[in-house]
Structure 1
Amino acid sequence: MALTSRISLQGPPTSEPEDFLSSSLGVIFPDDVTNQHGDADHSLAYASPHLPRPLHIALADPDQESDRKLFSHYLWNASLLLAEFVEAGTIGLPLAVGRGELQASDFDVSGLTCLELGAGTALPSLMAALLGAADVVITDYPSETVLTTLRKNVTANAKPENSPRQTVTPIAVDGHSWGELDTPFTTAHRGRFDRVFVCDCLWMPWQHANLHRSISWFLKSSSPSSNSAQAWVVAGFHTGRAKMRGFFEPTALAEAGLEVERLWERDCDGVEREWVWDRGQEDVSERKRWLVVGVLRRRAEGVEG
C-alpha cells in the first residue's frame, strides 16, 4: 500500500487554481508523489486500519516569515513513514525493513521514553503515545504558532478512544532550538530518552551540527531494551541529496559522540535500496519518491574518529 494512502484532506472545497493543479498532479503525472500534505485551511485525517478512529491533524497557519521558513506547517512523508514503522513495530505487524537487516519489532516503542525533534505535526509521537510508549515529549522551534498547533493536535488525538489499547501516554510539548543546551528544558531532559525521532529535518546543512548536538544531549547512555538507545532519522530527498547527506558524515557524527547503526533508502511504495552518497543527476520527480532512513546510536567507546 502506498505511503500516502492513509491521509485525506479535510476542510472547505478547493477553490484556487493552484490547489486544483496540485491535487491533480497524480493524474497528470502518474509517477509523481506528493511529499507535503495539508495547509492552514485543510486539516488532515490519518486513517490507520489498526487504530479505532482516524487521527485529525491540524496544520499551523504561519503569520510570520520566520515561521513560514520552518516548513512545519505541512505533514511530510518522512513523518508518515516513521509513524508506520512505529505502529508496525509496536503492535507486531509484518513489515520488511532495512533491506532484510531489521525486523519491524526493531521499531517497538513499548515502555520506552520518546522525544521528537522538529516535530511539525508530531504524527510519530502521537502514534507512540497511543501504542504504549512510557513517556513522550514533543519539541519544535520555540515559535508560539508552531507550538500552539502541536498542543492542539495532542489535545485532539491523545485520547484513550483513539488507542487500540484504550490507554494513552501523557504527552508534553515544549520549544527547543537545536544546539541550545543551556535552557531549563534541556537541563531537565538531558540523557532521558530511549528513542529520539527526527523527521525531515535535514534540509538545512548549516543546522546539521546543532541537530547532532541535540540528539546526543537527549539520548540515553543505555536503554532497557535489547538495543541501545537510538535516534531514528527519516528524511525525503525533495531538496536534493547534496543538501542532506552531510548529516550522516561519520566524522561530523563522531564529534557529537554518535555513529550510524543502519542506513538505507525506501520509496513511497516500500521498495528499498542501499544508501549511496551520490547517485549523480537525479530526476526531481523520481527523487521525491525516496526517503533515507537512518538509525543512529551512541558511538562505541574506544573507536577512533
Structure 2
Amino acid sequence: MSLTSRIALAGPEGTDPEDILSESLGVVFPDDVTNQHGDPDSWLVYTSPHLPKPLQLKLCQPGDDTERRLFSHYLWNSSLLLAELIERDSYLAGKEGAVEGDEAGSVGIFDVKGRRTVELGAGTALPSIMGGLLGADEVLVTDYPAPPLIEALKTNVDRNVAAELTPLGRVSPDVKVIGHEWGTFPVGDELTGKRHAFDRVLICDCLWMPWQHGNLRLSVDHLLKQTTEARCWVVAGFHTGRAKMAGFFDEEALRSEAGCEIEKIWEQDCDGKHREWVKDQAEEDPTTRKRWLVVAVLKRVQGET
C-alpha cells in the first residue's frame, strides 16, 4: 500500500496557487508522488485501519514570509512514514498479519511503549500523536516558537490524543507542546530542565537546511538520554536534493555535537521498497527523488555517556 494512501483533505479546496499546483502533479504526471499534503484552509484526515477513528490534523496559517519559509504548513511524507513505523512496532507487533521482517531489518526498533519521546520540528505532530495513542509514557512536541505553528500543534494534540481514538483505551498521561529553537536552551526555559530526559528523539524532514544541522545535533545531544538504549529516529525526504541533507550524518559532527553515531540507515520509497543509503550519489530527477526517504537510527557513542 502506498505511503500516501492514508491521507486525504477535508474542508474547502485550497486557493493558494502553490497548493493547487502541488495537488495536481499526480494527475499531470501519473508517476509523480505527492510529498507535501494540505493547505491552511482544510483539515487533513489520517485514516489507519488499526485506529478506531480517523485523526484530523490542522495545518498552521503562516503569519509572515519567515514562518512560511519553515514549510511547517504542510504534512510531509517523512512524518507519514515514521507514524506507520511507530504503529507497526508499538501496536501491531505479534498480531496476526504483522510484518515479521523487512529488507532493512527495522522491525521492532520503533516501539514507543513505556518510553519518553520528544519530537523536533514537529509540523503537524503526527508521529508524536501516534506515540501518545500507542503507549508512550511522555510525549513532548516541539517546533519553532512561531505562535501560529504552536497553536496548530496544540490543536492537533488536544483533538487527537484522546481515549476514543486509541485501540488501547488509554493515552499517554503526559503530552505537551512547547516552542523550541534548535540549539538554544536559555536559562529558565522548560527544555533546559529536560537535559538528557528522553528515551527517543523524533526528527522528520528537518534536514533540508544545512546551516541548521549543527543546531539540530546540539538539540539531540541535550534531549537524548545518555544510556545505551536511547535512540534518535531521523526520517527525511530527498525532494530538496541529497547533498543538502547528507551533511547531517557526518560521522565526526554527529559524534562531537550530538554525542551519537549511526546504528542503522537505509533508503525507502513511498511503496515500501528499500535500498542502501548512499551519501554521495548523482542526483536523481525531481520526480524520482520525491519518492524516496532516508531513515536513520542514531545511538549514543559508547564510552561517552
Q: TM-score, normalised by structure 1?
A: 0.93
Cα separation, 2, equivalents of 1:140 and 1:75? 14
Letter matched to residue 267 of structure 1: D
Letter matched to residue 255 of structure 2: A
Letter matched to residue 167 of structure 1: R
Aligned to 2:301: 299
Which of 258, 281, 284 in structure 2 is aligned with 1:282? 284
Query: Offset of 1:18 from its aligned partner?
Result: 6.3
Aligned to 1:190: 195
Deviating above 4 A after TM superposition, structure 1's stretches of 4 or more consecutive aligned residues are 14-21
Query: Offset of 1:67 from its aligned partner?
Result: 0.8
Cα separation, 2, equivalents of 1:61 and 1:111? 34
Query: Offset of 1:128 from its aligned partner?
Result: 0.2
Letter matched to residue 194 of structure 1: D
Aligned to 2:131: 128
Letter matched to residue 148 of structure 1: E
- Say whether the 8 Å CA contact 1:98–1:263 is kept in structure 2: no
Secondary structure of the 2:103 match is helix
- Say whether the 8 Å CA contact 2:19–2:38 is kept in structure 1: no
- Say whether the 8 Å CA contact 1:10–1:44 is kept in structure 2: yes
Query: Offset of 1:65 from its aligned partner?
Result: 1.5
- Say whether the 8 Å CA contact 2:104–2:274 is kept in structure 1: no
Cα separation, 2, equivalents of 1:19 and 1:254? 39
- Say whether the 8 Å CA contact 2:241–2:283 is kept in structure 1: no
- Say whether the 8 Å CA contact 1:112–1:135 is kept in structure 2: yes
Query: Offset of 1:182 from its aligned partner?
Result: 2.9
Write the deviation string for residues 134-186 of structure 1: whole angstroms up to 9, x where unpaired. Answer: 10000001111110000011111111000001111131111111100234222
State whether structure 2 residue 34 is matched by structure 1 residue 34: yes
- Say whether the 8 Å CA contact 1:40–1:60 is kept in structure 2: yes
Aligned to 2:121: 118
Query: When the two structures are aligned, how many residues end up with a matched partner?
Result: 298
Which of 162, 165, 170 in structure 2 is aligned with 1:167? 170
Secondary structure of the 2:295 match is strand
With 164-173 and 81-90 compared, the bigger mean Cα shift is at 164-173
Query: Offset of 1:27 from its aligned partner?
Result: 2.5
Could you list the runs of 5+ residues in structure 2 that have no partner in the other structure? none
Secondary structure of the 1:292 match is strand
Cα separation, 2, equivalents of 1:262 and 1:37? 28
Identical aligned residues as a percent: 53
- Say whether the 8 Å CA contact 1:98–1:262 is kept in structure 2: no
Query: Offset of 1:26 from its aligned partner?
Result: 1.6
Aligned to 1:74: 74
Cα separation, 2, equivalents of 1:33 and 1:248? 26
- Say whether the 8 Å CA contact 2:19–2:39 is kept in structure 1: no
Cα separation, 2, equivalents of 1:20 and 1:214? 35
Query: Offset of 1:13 from its aligned partner?
Result: 3.6
Secondary structure of the 1:4 match is helix
1:229-268 equivalences in 2 (<5 Å): 229-256=230-257, 257-268=259-270
Write the deviation string for residues 47-85 of structure 1: whole angstroms up to 9, x where unpaired. Answer: 000000000000000121111111111100000000000
Query: Offset of 1:46 from its aligned partner?
Result: 0.2
Cα separation, 2, equivalents of 1:221 and 1:59? 34
Cα separation, 1, equivalents of 2:18 and 2:127? 30
Aligned to 2:106: 102
With 25-34 and 118-127 compared, the bigger mean Cα shift is at 25-34
Q: TM-score, normalised by structure 2?
A: 0.93
Could you list the runs of 5+ residues in structure 1 that have no partner in the other structure? none
Cα separation, 2, equivalents of 1:208 and 1:19? 28
Secondary structure of the 1:57 match is strand
Letter matched to residue 249 of structure 1: D
